[in-house]
Amino acid sequence: MAVPGGPRCGGGSLGLLVWLLVFQPLLSEARAGRNERRLVLGSSGVDVVSVMLEEGLVVVGVDVVDMVDVVEVLEGRQQLHLQSFLLSPGTCGHRIMRIVGGVPSPERKWPWQVSLQVNNVHKCGGSLIAPRWVLTAAHCVKGYEEYTVRLGDTLLQSNSKNAVVIPVQDIIHYSYYNSLTMRHDIALALLALSVNYSAYIQPVCLAGKDFEVKAGTLCWATGWGRTLQFEPSRLPTLQETEQVILRYAKCNRMVKKQQNPFPKVIRKGMVCGCHEKSGGPCKGDSGGPLVCQFNNTWIQMGIVSWGVHCALKEVPAVYTDIRFYKEWVYDAMSQASTLDSGGFFIPLVCLGLALSILPTL
């Protein structure tokens, strides 16, 4: 999807060269130099917009005034108002449908949801964040497996005309991922081909480090996992469950209550959610998104990671908190997108666990 006023991905014109030489450094300086401002989910008087970064990646948590002010005061530069092509609300986190409530979730309701598969068998969930990039959990992906990603369909076993299957070209793990503590449970999958957006396939917005979600905020987790912990098989239809965001201290108390003694395992870089009436994610849901709605835009706050038990009411599920990894996502995409496997230039601007800890794989 092209950014209004900017180049189209894959173009080779002189205009694209000018864009790369002039505006990409400006964007880097703006990212590095702008003043911090916390944006609180549910607060009034704050206009949140999307900022297009590498190859279509969209990060939420920057407002128009911050970005434009920074660009205007860059020393030795002409004052440039980048709002027209860098700030593009509506490029992510939107679904093209009239929402119909109920479970299982209808088509188009979660168009960023993908199925990460091996030999056409569902292994984990994931979320589309750019035309060639999928976000998932590190514990879902192993270097020796050959993965494909299925997009655009809520039924895993159907031959839907809306479904698209694309091979995964490369996997990028967070280097400090720890399978024992489940810290830094995040990974990126680079697709072999760019996906075309449609009513059934759309990217989700990512929460930036300045974006705060208050405890008690209602969000949603989605996936094809089991609805009961010891259920023999996973469901072929995409499921959804409400999740209420919890504070660290409360989540730790609830986790310890499930098994005693139990070490304090909820750490920085994790976020918890649960619901007193609906179950949480379970095996097969790992890697899928935890999304929250704000100003008609869906923002991914977490990645399904682990839990003491799964799919139980009032038992918290633990998610990787994306806000702590936004810079890593940005940098990983920047490095991987410089050259693809065929040597073609891709424009940067377009772009075994303890038994008590059950990953939701």
- Of 122, 139, 184, 275, the catalytic one is 139
In this structure, are residues 2 and 55 in contact, taking their beta carbons and an 8 Å threshold?
no
Active site residue 278: no
Residue 86 tokens read as 């860098």
Q: Which residues contact 302 (CB under 8 A, 6 or more apart)?
A: 219, 271, 273, 289, 290, 319, 320, 321, 322
Longest dimension (CA), the chain: 65
Tell me how many degrees the CA angle 228-231-232 measures, rounded to the nearest 5: 160
Decide: residue 74, CB within 10 A, 0-12 exposed, 13-18 middle, 19+ buried.
Answer: middle
Beta-strand (E) ranges in 99-200?
A: 113-118, 121-130, 133-136, 147-151, 164-173, 187-191
Separation of alpha carbons 97 and 2, rounded Å: 22
Separation of alpha carbons 66 and 22, rounded Å: 20
- Of 105, 115, 127, 286, the catalytic one is 286
Residue 17 tokens read as 């060269």
Separation of alpha carbons 112 and 212, rounded Å: 22
Q: Which residues contact 144 (CB under 8 A, 6 or more apart)?
A: none
Q: Which residues contact 35 (CB under 8 A, 6 or more apart)?
A: 66, 70
Q: Which residues contact 153 (CB under 8 A, 6 or more apart)?
A: 107, 160, 162, 163, 200
Separation of alpha carbons 304 and 171, rounded Å: 18
103 half-sphere exposure, CB direction, 13 A CA radius: 13
Active site residue 286: yes
- Of 153, 185, 210, 321, the catalytic one is 185
Separation of alpha carbons 275 and 280, rounded Å: 7
> 120-132: buried (b, 16+ CB within 10 Å) or exposed (e) per residue?
eebbbbbbbbbbb
Active site residue 185: yes
- Give the residue numbers annotated as catalytic, written as ranges: 139, 185, 286
